[in-house]
């Protein structure tokens, strides 16, 4: 007779969801505990009162190279919500009203970006040649421990990239992926992104964005899938503490007073929440590999602005020489999805753009009026349109712990999935995934933990 093993997953973000999906697929009876009433973690949407629309906690995109993410979408039947302008066709604007396009020439693969870089207008011709040489060096750069100890900024400098070209090209392309300045990104991570994303397979740099609220694209379909396969969901149930018996976890106690028992427990909590739960349970952090108390986060601020007429023509653009990393034409993106009733525009018909500002912790200290004045003025300069100074309405969303920093030397702080507690495992975008803190990293970590438990631990 087959014996069903039981597993409890703590946290219903992308990592916990993917871990639960794969453990269930490997034959485990899974319970998933999530403190909020819905799944999705740091990727969710909610109803905004005025204008009555669904908005996200923060604009999310995925690149074509995020293979685990797209497999995950297929599994939960949500691929239809994510679209891209394939082949790659990204609008790039500066703050003087000039516009360029980074376009993929598919027939030139693997030199698909060459024509666009040679035409990139915001730097000199010799700087463009320098970029191509640095990309070639990245392509042949071997992985070494030393690369994780120096910054991507310093690696670029040692490959003859001027401050101007770092600011006007490399930051524009690389900063949004890591939500950080280039001197806060290790060279190994920056080069990994160049190899896998920009110089990877055909389509690997295509930018996919959701055409409905994030919960409609991730959380709700995940919940449907997990219920269908028989996973027990404890929603709105925060983990209070973990109780040990010798070197094993005996039970998980929830704030509701419920107690959950299982053969194994996987934490898919973010690292600050895991530290809190372990502390409240008197379980030393030394049980985890990696010194997670040394991990640091970087914040993202999203500014939603509504106007009386369409403020931009393209679906989204990156910005040179501005604290705004990218601007999304939210109305146009949502309108392209005619199936999404929840996202229909308000009858008053306002047009919404979303500004994504990375590494934004300093801006988060500003007042609402200071943010509106500064960033609407920035929009006036980017689109050379004085009317953008006066949005009809503005909503500012601040996420101070949006992503973990991939600083030089930080790889050793990220935990592996196994711990020294016999039946306790770890996943999350902050664990040792080899990826930056992204949806792809979170899903990879959940899958790896499930696979390790299935093949390694209980084999
Ligand atoms: C504004 C913003 C923009 C982003 N943009 C992008 C992007 O464009 N592309 C991209 O790939 N990534 C992006 N990210 C990062 C991405 O969202 C995260 O990497 C990913 O969602 C992390 O998933 P996770 O499951 O590891 O962690 P989380 O999503 O943090 O999941 C942890 C879960 O644990 C729950 N929890 C906490 N405490 C308890 C407790 N005591 N008991 C039970 N449950 C608990 C939380 O509610 C949460 O649901 C962005 C993040 C933010 C915030």
Instruction: Quick: pLDDT tens for 243-289.
Output: 999 999 999 999 999 999 999 999 999 999 999 999 999 999 999 99
pLDDT for the residue 146: 84
Q: Is the CB of 398 under 6 A from ligand 1?
A: no
The neighbouring-strand residues paired with 65 are none
239 lines ligand 1 (CB under 6 A): yes
Residue 2 confidence (pLDDT): 61
The alpha carbon of 184 and the centre of ligand 1 are apart by a number of angstroms equal to 21
pLDDT in tens, 139-151: 998 878 789 999 9
Structural tokens at position 239 = 């983990």
Establish whether residue 156 lines the binding site of ligand 1, counting it when its CB lies within 6 angstroms of any ligand atom: no
Tally the C-alpha atoms within 13 A of residue 115's C-alpha that lie toward its C-beta: 11
Pocket test for ligand 1, best of 38, 41, 252, 406 (most atoms within 8 A of CB): 41
Q: Whose CA is nearest to atom 5 of ligand 1?
A: 60
- Check if 15 has its Cβ closer than 6 Å to any atom of ligand 1: yes
Task: Indicate which atom in ligand 1 lies nearest the CA of residue 429.
Answer: 26
Question: Which helix H or strand E contains 444, and what residues bound it?
Answer: helix 439-451
Cα-based distances in Å from 39 to 27, 45, 48, 186: 22, 11, 19, 31
Q: 21 CB contacts (<8 Å, ≥6 apart)?
A: 72, 75, 76, 222, 225, 226, 229, 446, 450
Q: Give dist(CA 274, CA 426) in Å, integer.
A: 9
CB atoms within 10 A of CB 217: 27
CA of 50 to the centre of ligand 1 (A): 26
CB proximity list for 103: less than 8 A, separation 6 or greater: 87, 88, 89, 90, 115, 116
Ramachandran bin of 282, using left for φ above 0, alpha for ψ from -120 to 50, beta for the remaining angles:
left
Q: Do 410 and 180 touch, CB atoms closer than 8 A? A: no
Q: Whose CA is nearest to atom 34 of ligand 1?
A: 11
Ligand 1 pocket residue status of 416, Cβ below 6 Å: no
Does residue 18 have its Cβ closer than 6 Å to ligand 1? Answer: no
Answer yes or no: is the C-beta of 254 below 6 A from any ligand 1 atom.
no
**Which ranges of the chain have pLDDT less than 70?**
1-3, 336-348, 457-459
Ligand 1 within 6 A of CB of 36: yes
Q: Does the Cβ of 42 fall within 6 Å of ligand 1?
A: yes
Is the Cβ atom of 403 under 6 angstroms away from ligand 1? yes
Ligand 1 geometric centre to CA of 430 (Å): 10
* Distance between CA atoms of residues 97 and 385, nearest Å: 9
Q: Which residue has the tokens 């308000």?
A: 346
> Cα–Cα distance between 446 and 444 in angstroms, integer?
6
Q: Is the CB of 66 under 6 A from ligand 1?
A: no
Listed in sequence order, the residues at least 6 apart from 347 whose beta carbon sits closer than 8 Å to its beta carbon are: none
Q: What is the pLDDT of residue 343?
A: 44
Q: Which atom of ligand 1 is nearest to the CA of 36?
A: 47
Decide if 424 contacts 265 (C-beta within 8 A): yes
Ligand 1 neighbour 354 (Cβ under 6 A): no
Measure the CA–CA gap between 114 and 300, rounded to whole angstroms.
31
From residue 265, alpha-carbon distances to 147, 245, 285, 381 in Å are 34, 13, 16, 52
At 207, phi and psi to the nearest 5? -100, 120
Q: If you take atom 1 of ligand 1, which residue's CA is the nearest one?
A: 58
Locate tokens 């409890």: which residue?
8
Residue nearest atom 19 in ligand 1 by C-alpha distance: 438
């Amino acid at each position: 007779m087959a014996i069903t093993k039981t597993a409890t997953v703590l946290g219903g973000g992308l990592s916990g969801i993917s871990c639960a999906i794969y453990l269930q697929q490997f034959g485990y009876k899974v319970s998933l505990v999530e403190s909020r009433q819905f799944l999705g973690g740091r990727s969710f949407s909610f109803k905004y009162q005025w204008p009555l629309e669904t908005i996200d906690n923060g604009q999310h995109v995925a690149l074509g190279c995020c293979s685990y993410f797209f497999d995950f979408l297929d599994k939960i039947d949500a691929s239809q919500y994510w679209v891209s302008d394939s082949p790659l066709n990204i609008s790039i604007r500066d703050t003087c009203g000039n516009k360029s396009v980074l376009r993929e020439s598919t027939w030139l693969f693997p030199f698909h970006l060459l024509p666009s870089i040679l035409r990139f207008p915001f730097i000199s011709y010799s700087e463009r040649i320098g970029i191509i040489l640095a990309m070639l060096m990245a392509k042949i750069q071997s992985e070494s421990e030393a690369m994780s100890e120096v910054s991507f900024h310093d690696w670029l400098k040692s490959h003859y990239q001027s401050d101007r070209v770092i600011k006007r090209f490399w930051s524009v392309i690389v900063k949004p992926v890591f939500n950080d300045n280039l001197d806060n990104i290790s060279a190994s991570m920056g080069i990994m992104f160049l190899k896998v994303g920009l110089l990877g397979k055909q389509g690997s740099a295509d930018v996919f964005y959701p055409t409905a609220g994030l919960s409609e694209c991730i959380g709700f379909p995940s919940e449907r899938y997990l219920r269908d396969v028989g996973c027990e969901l404890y929603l709105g149930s925060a983990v209070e503490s973990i109780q040990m018996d010798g070197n094993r976890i005996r039970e998980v106690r929830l704030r509701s007073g419920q107690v959950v028992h299982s053969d194994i427990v996987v934490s898919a909590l973010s690292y600050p929440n895991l530290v809190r739960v372990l502390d409240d349970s008197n379980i030393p952090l030394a049980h985890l590999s990696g010194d997670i108390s040394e991990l640091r986060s970087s914040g993202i601020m999203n500014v939603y602005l509504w106007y009386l007429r369409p403020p931009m023509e393209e679906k989204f653009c990156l910005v040179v020489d501005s604290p705004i990393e990218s601007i999304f034409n939210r109305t146009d993106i949502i309108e392209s999805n005619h199936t999404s009733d929840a996202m229909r525009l308000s009858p008053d018909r306002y047009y919404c753009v979303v500004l994504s500002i990375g590494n934004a912790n300093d801006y988060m200290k500003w007042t609402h009026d200071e943010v509106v004045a500064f960033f609407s003025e920035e929009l006036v300069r980017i689109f050379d349109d004085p009317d953008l100074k006066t949005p009809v309405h503005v909503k500012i969303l601040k996420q101070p712990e949006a992503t973990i920093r991939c600083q030089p030397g930080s790889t050793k702080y990220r935990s592996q999935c196994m711990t020294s507690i016999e039946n306790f495992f770890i996943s999350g975008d902050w664990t040792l995934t080899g990826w930056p803190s992204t949806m792809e990293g979170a899903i990879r970590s959940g899958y790896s933990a499930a696979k390790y438990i299935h093949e390694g631990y209980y084999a």
